[in-house]
Amino acid sequence: MPSWTATRIRTLKGASPIVCVTAYDFSMARIVDEAGFHLVLVGDSLGMTVLGYETTLPVTMEEMLHHTSAVARGVGNALVVADMPFMSYHSSISTALENAGRFIKEAGADAVKVEGGKVRSRTISALTQNGIPVLGHIGLTPQSLLAMGGYKIQGRKPAEAKQLLADAASLDAAGVFAIVLECIPSELAREITAAVSVPTIGIGAGPHCDGQILVLHDVLGLHGAAAPKLKFVKQYAALGKLAKDALLNFKQDVEQGSFPSAEHSFQ
């Protein structure tokens, strides 16, 4: 069992900032864990960052199980949360239970993440009542991209803000251990954070949440020249450029015959 459990993370509300990031493979998961993060999310964002899809919608259960297993093997202390992909929990509660159970039993996840508010509360209640910790997710929910009409800030209109407050309360009552708030106004995030008993984790939701999460590739600058420009992202490194420069140097050494040298050859 990891040092950081869903129950322990829940106790951090109002006490200490919760630091989270996504990861998609063993080596990066190990680095994230060594850095002391509380929570590692195997996000369905791997559809864009790793698999080359345009959205998260094509991501399958098998792809998520594969990457979650790799991350779980690299993590010893952080809570590993698996993103339940599009249509893996929508059709019925029994389907949701079966698929969430696979993440726990087969992939080694410690919890799952489910998008949606009140409409998902019965499903989430069933999961939590069967011993599966759930991280909620409201605001901009990428699996609802088509219905939302694109990646848009949510909750600016009074009716939308009221609905998000009701959604957060519903998830709290359903037993989630925390709620991701994505791309909503910071003052609304402050209001939701004060209204619920569980921690809120923001991504594009301002500074008033109980924790923050970003996509690993955005934090480390792994997108290369194709890096998206997102207002809520702070890039802490430019590893894409460093990797390209290193590869160009390797290519040049091979082409010029300077690698492998005697130092890198067996005698």
Q: Catalytic positions, please?
A: 182
- DSSP 8-state symbol, 24: -
Count the neighbouring beta carbons within 10 Å of the beta carbon of residue 170. 22
Cα torsion 190, 194, 197, 199 to 10°: value is 30
Within a 10 A sphere around the Cβ of 89, how many other Cβ atoms?
Answer: 25
**Spatial distance between the Cα atoms of 98 and 126, rounded to a whole number of angstroms:** 11
Closest residue by Cα to residue 219 from 235, 205, 243, 230: 235
Backbone angles phi, psi at 95, to 5 degrees: -65, -45
